[in-house]
């Protein structure tokens, strides 16, 4: 049970034939990182069904760390997401034809949750290794934000997950999908560095005087 890392990616959506988030997390399945075993799983790019699947995986694996990964076409760097918001506002239909507009992910729950990953330390670790990375202030309002919010809500409210940390990372297109693109090897290397860093660093130093972006 203990010492697992859950790493999720999504299936292809919006007419694409692949999703780099799934190809990248699949490449890390079963790897050992600092005494933890990576379990990679695919989530459907579907509102609600994605969260049902994620919650079942959390119950099954009780991971120490969870990172959900999705594709963000048009971004040139690995995006370490800071905040999940309690809204679904789909610009396109999901893979089941659903397109919720201005509905809550969880009715009555907080407006937002912050990641519990040390994103500034992760940013430094990726950049030190030459991987293009950035902190992102929005995961959008489509299925990725939905999953990020649902993950953080589960970690905040499910007692057995009290010690589990988690967050969300967006990755660019592969070069064959469009520009800007990032090679799959670099995405995989970036995710591995991000996982190592998240296991080594509990929290970023508190924001306050002297904190920089």
CB closest to ligand PCA, residue no: 144
Closest CA relative to residue 100, chosen from 41, 49, 47: 47
* Burial class of residue 3, CB neighbours in 10 A (0-12, 13-18, 19+): middle
Min dist. Cβ of residue 1 to ligand PCA (A): 28
Of 71 and 115, CB closest to ligand PCA: 71
Active site residue 197: no
For the record, the structure tokens of 200 come out as 């080594």
Active site residue 81: yes
**Cα 31 off chain centre by:** 18
Per DSSP, which regions of 91-207 are E strands? 101-103, 112-114, 133-136, 165-171
Of 13 and 113, CB closest to ligand PCA: 13
Q: Which residue among the candidates 81, 146, 153, 197 is catalytic per the annotation?
A: 81
Q: Which residue among the candidates 144, 146, 153, 197 is catalytic per the annotation?
A: 144
For the record, the structure tokens of 96 come out as 């089941």
Q: Please tell me whether residue 84 adopts helix, strand or coil conformation.
A: strand
Min dist. Cβ of residue 12 to ligand PCA (A): 8
Of 80 and 144, CB closest to ligand PCA: 144
Active site residue 134: no
Residues at the site binding ligand PCA, with contacts judged by CB under 6 A: 10, 13, 19, 21, 45, 70-72, 140, 142-144
Catalytic residues: 81, 144, 170
């Amino acid at each position: 049970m203990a010492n697992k890392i859950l790493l999720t990616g999504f299936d292809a959506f919006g007419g694409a034939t692949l999703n780099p988030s799934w190809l990248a997390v699949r490449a890390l399945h079963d790897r050992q990182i600092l005494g933890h075993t990576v379990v990679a799983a695919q989530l459907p790019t579907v509102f609600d069904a994605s969260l049902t699947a994620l919650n079942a995986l959390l119950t099954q694996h009780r991971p120490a760390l969870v990172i959900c990964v999705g594709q963000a076409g048009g971004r040139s760097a690995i995006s370490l997401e800071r905040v999940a918001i309690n809204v679904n506002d789909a610009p396109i239909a999901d893979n089941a034809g659903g397109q919720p507009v201005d509905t809550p992910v969880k009715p009555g729950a907080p407006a937002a949750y912050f990641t519990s990953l040390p994103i500034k330390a992760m940013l430094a670790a990726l950049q030190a290794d030459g991987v293009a990375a950035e902190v992102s202030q929005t995961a959008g309002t489509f299925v990725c934000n939905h999953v990020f919010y649902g993950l953080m809500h589960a970690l905040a409210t499910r007692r057995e997950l009290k010690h589990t940390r988690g967050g969300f990372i967006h990755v660019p297109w592969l070069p064959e999908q469009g520009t800007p693109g990032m090679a799959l090897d670099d995405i995989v290397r970036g995710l591995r560095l991000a996982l190592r860093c998240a296991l080594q660093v509990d929290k970023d130093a508190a924001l306050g005087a002297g904190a920089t972006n």
